[in-house]
Amino acid sequence: MQTCQHSAKPRSLVWFKYMDEKTRFQRRQLLKFAGLNAALAVSPDCVFAKSRLKTRKPSTGFRPDVEIKLTLKPDQVTIFKGAKTRIWTISGELIKGPVTALENHSTSYLGPTFRLHKGQKVRIILSNRLPSASILHWHGMHVPSEMDGNPRDAIDTGETYVYEFEIRNRAGTYWYHAHTHDYTGIQVYKGLAGLMLVSDDEEQALQLPKTEHDIPLMIQDRTFNTNNQLSYVTHMMQRMRGFLGNQILINGDPDYTLPVEARAYRLRLLNGSNSRIYKLGWNNELPITVIGTDGGLLEQPVTLPYLMLAPGQRREIWVDFSRFKTGTELTMRNLDFQIGMQHRMMGGMRPGHRGGMMGRGMTGHNKSQLGNSFPVFKVQVTKRATTHDDLPLRLSHIDALSIKNASNSGSPRTITLSMRHMSALLNGRSYTMNDIQPDERIPVNTLQYFELDNDSTGMMSMPHPMHFHGEPFQIVKRQINPGLHHAFQTVREGFIDSGWHDTVLIMPGEKITLLKPFNDYKGLFMYHCHNLEHEDLGMMRDFQID
C-alpha cells in the first residue's frame, strides 16, 4: 500500500448547514470528499485508497488467443489550445492476437479500444504506474469473480494484475473503467475508461454497417479550469447529486463532428459520464432507430422519438443519412426533461449554483443542471454514397426469461434505493468490503427475480442508474408512483425495456421488476448505482454467489 501524504483538510465546513445531523459517518464522507479535492489539487496526484492488495500472476494452463499489456499512468493530452491537460490514462500494447484487437488513441485521454470475438481467450496484464491504487473492471462482461475487477483486487503503484477470461458475451458494446474503492468517480473522470467491442458470428452475418461505418461514441462531461485542467466536485451538494460538467466530450474530443457518407451507419452510444443522464434527440426530429442495448442486438429494431441514456448504458442506433444532401449538418441534442427530484435538504438551493460554470465552458448552455437542452455532437454529410442499405428487420433471437423459472418466483428480492444525509444507500446499507448479508447470498446457476424500488419519500430522491456485474438481465416491468407521473412523462418514451441490459435507469418513485441469471461463476459480484459519485458515497454492495 502506498503511503502518500496529502493535506486532506476541507477548505470550508459550510456544507454542515445543509445537514440536520452530524454523525461520525457524515464526517467520514466529508473528509473523503475533501480528499478528492486535494487529489486534483496536489501534484503528483495522490489518492489514498484502502483496498486489499494483491498481484495476480499468469496461470500456466491458460492459452490466450489475445494477449494485451495495459499500463495505468499519469499523462498529458491536448484537449484545447494552450496548456495540455493532465490526465490519467491507459496505454495498451498488443502482445498476441489480431492487430485489430487493440487500438490506442494517441490524441485522446480514452483508453485503447478492444475488438474481441466471442469464444476468444483473453489475457490482460495490467500494471499500475499511477501514484494511487487502482483496478479495472470489464463492464458488462460475464467473467469469473476474480477477473471482474472488484475493488478488493485493487493493485498498488508498481503492482501487476493478470486477468484471464474467455469471451462468453454476445456481440455488443461493452466498456471498462477504474473501480477503485472510494475513488471510482475521480479515476474515471481523470480518464481511466475505454471501449470493449465484442463481435460474434451471428452479428457478423447480418448486413449491418461495418468498419468505418460502425462508430463508437463515448459521451462524457467534464469541467475544465481556465488553465485547461480538469476540476471535479467543488461542493458536497454536487457530490450528492452527482458531478455534472459544463463541457461535453465525445471520445475525448470537446468539439466533435462526425463526417459521414450519405448512407447507413451503426452508431454505438455509450454514456461514460460520471452522473449525467442524457435525453438524446436529433435537432430535425428524425426518430431514433435503436438496434442494440447494453447486452447486444435487440430482436427487432425499435424506433423512438428520443433516447434516454444513463451513466454506464449503451444504445446502438442505426441511422440512414442517404436521405440528406451533401453538406447537411445534423445535431444530436440533449433535450429538456424533468427528473421529479426532491431536494428538500437543499432548502431551495438551485443545483449547481456554485462551481461548475466558472472557467472554460459553454456560455449560453447551462449544463450545470440535469435535464437542460444543449448540443451533444454533430454529424456532417460530406460525401455521396452509392450503397443502398436496408435495416435487417430481424436482428437476433432472444429467449424471454420468465418469473416462473426464477428460483425465488414467489417473492422478489427487493432492493430499495435511497439517499440519506451524506450517503446513498441500497436497502439502507452502505458499501463495506467483505460484508455479505443473508439477502445478498445467491445460489449459482439460478435465475433471480428482483424488484428495485427508488424510494421517493426521503429527504432527497434522485434517478439512479442501477448496474449489476456479471450476466445481463431482462426488464419485466416498470411502475411509477402516480405523484411523480408528471416528470416521468418527460422521459418515458426514451426507455427500451426489450433486450439484454446491465444498467437500468430508475426514476424517482419508480419500481422496476427484472430477471437476472447468475450462471457459471461463484464468488463476489457487485451491484451498484452507476452515478459514480453515488457509488463512491456507498451506493454499492456485493452479492456472494455460491
177 binds, among Cu ion, ligand C2O, none (CB under 5 to 8 A by kind): ligand C2O
**Are 466 and 528 a contacting pair, CB within 8 Å?**
yes
Beta partners for residue 88, in sequence order: 74
Sole binder of ligand C2O in the list 118, 241, 464, 528 (CB under 6 A): 528
Site track for ligand C2O across 252-281, x = CB under 6 A:
------------------------------
Q: HSE-up of 293 (CA within 13 Å, CB side)?
A: 27
Among 86, 118, 179, 279, binds ligand C2O (CB under 6 A): 179
Cβ proximity to ligand C2O: between 118 and 530 the closer is: 530
466 binds, among Cu ion, ligand C2O, none (CB under 5 to 8 A by kind): none
SS3 percent helix, strand, coil of the chain, rounded to 5, is 15, 40, 45
CA distance 228 to 222: 11
Is 541 a residue that touches ligand C2O (CB under 6 A)? Answer: no
Q: 241 near 368, Cβ under 8 Å?
A: no
Cβ at position 524, least distance to Cu ion in Å: 13
Do residues 214 and 268 lie in contact, with contact meaning Cβ atoms separated by under 8 Å?
yes
When binding is defined by CB under 6 A, the residue of 526, 529, 539, 545 that contacts ligand C2O is 526
Shortest Cβ 136–Cu ion spacing (Å): 11
193 and 221 Cβ atoms separated by less than 8 Å: no
Q: Which stretch binds Cu ion (CB under 5 A): 115-123, 124-132, 461-469, 493-501?
A: 461-469
- Is 469 near ligand C2O (CB under 6 A)? yes
464 lies in the binding site for Cu ion (CB under 5 A) = yes
Cβ closer to ligand C2O: 184 or 334? 184
DSSP-assigned letter for residue 321: G
User: At which residue does the C-alpha cell 454497417 appear?
Assistant: 209
- The answer to whether residue 139 forms part of the interface with ligand C2O (CB under 6 A) is yes
Nearer residue to Cu ion within complex by CB, 97 or 509? 509
Amino acid at the residue 358: M
Q: Nearest approach, Cβ of 9 to Cu ion (angstroms)? A: 28
Binding of ligand C2O at residue 312 (CB under 6 A)? yes
- From the list 267, 254, 364, 257, the residue with the least C-alpha distance to 320 is 267
In the set 241, 279, 467, 541, which binds ligand C2O (CB under 6 A)?
467
In this chain, which stretch among 24-32, 268-276, 412-420, 525-533 interacts with ligand C2O, using CB under 6 A?
Answer: 525-533
**Cα–Cα distance between 85 and 436 in angstroms, integer?**
41
193-199 vs 113-117, strand pairing mode: parallel
In order of 45, 411, 435, 472, 482, the CA distances from 133 in angstroms are 12, 40, 21, 28, 45
Residue 528 binds what, of Cu ion, ligand C2O, none (CB under 5 to 8 Å, by partner type)? ligand C2O
Q: Which residues within the stretch 127-166 sit at the binding site for Cu ion (CB under 5 A)?
A: 139
* Contact map string, positions 423 to 462, toward ligand C2O, x by CB under 6 A: ----------------------------------------
CA 245/CA 40 separation, integer angstroms: 15
Q: How big is the CA angle at 245 (ends 417 and 484), to the nearest 5 degrees? A: 35
C-beta closer to Cu ion: residue 125 or 506: 506
| The CA-based dihedral angle spanning residues 154, 313, 173, 323, taken in that order and rounded to the nearest 10 degrees | -150
Binding flag, residue 170, ligand C2O (CB under 6 A):
no
Q: Which of the listed partners (Cu ion, ligand C2O, none) does 464 bind, with a CB threshold of 5 to 8 Å by partner kind?
A: Cu ion
Residue 517 interaction partner, one of Cu ion, ligand C2O, none, beta carbon < 5-8 Å per kind = none
Residue 147 Cβ vs ligand C2O, minimum distance, rounded to whole Å: 13
Q: Does 314 bind ligand C2O (CB under 6 A)?
A: no
Q: Examine residue 534 and tell whether it contacts Cu ion (CB under 5 A).
A: yes
Contact with ligand C2O (CB under 6 A): which of 137, 235, 464, 534? 137
Here the contacts of 258-261 (C-beta below 8 Å, separation 24 or greater) are: 258/215, 258/217, 258/377, 258/378, 258/379, 258/380, 259/379, 259/380, 259/382, 259/383, 260/321, 260/379, 260/380, 260/381, 260/382, 260/383, 261/213, 261/321, 261/381, 261/382, 261/383, 261/384, 261/385
Distance CA(195)–CA(212), nearest Å, equals 16
C-alpha to C-alpha distance for 532 and 527, rounded to whole angstroms: 13
Please give the residue ranges that form the binding site for Cu ion (CB under 5 A): 139, 464, 469, 529, 531, 534
Please give the residue ranges that form the binding site for ligand C2O (CB under 6 A): 137, 139, 177, 179, 312, 467, 469, 526, 528, 530
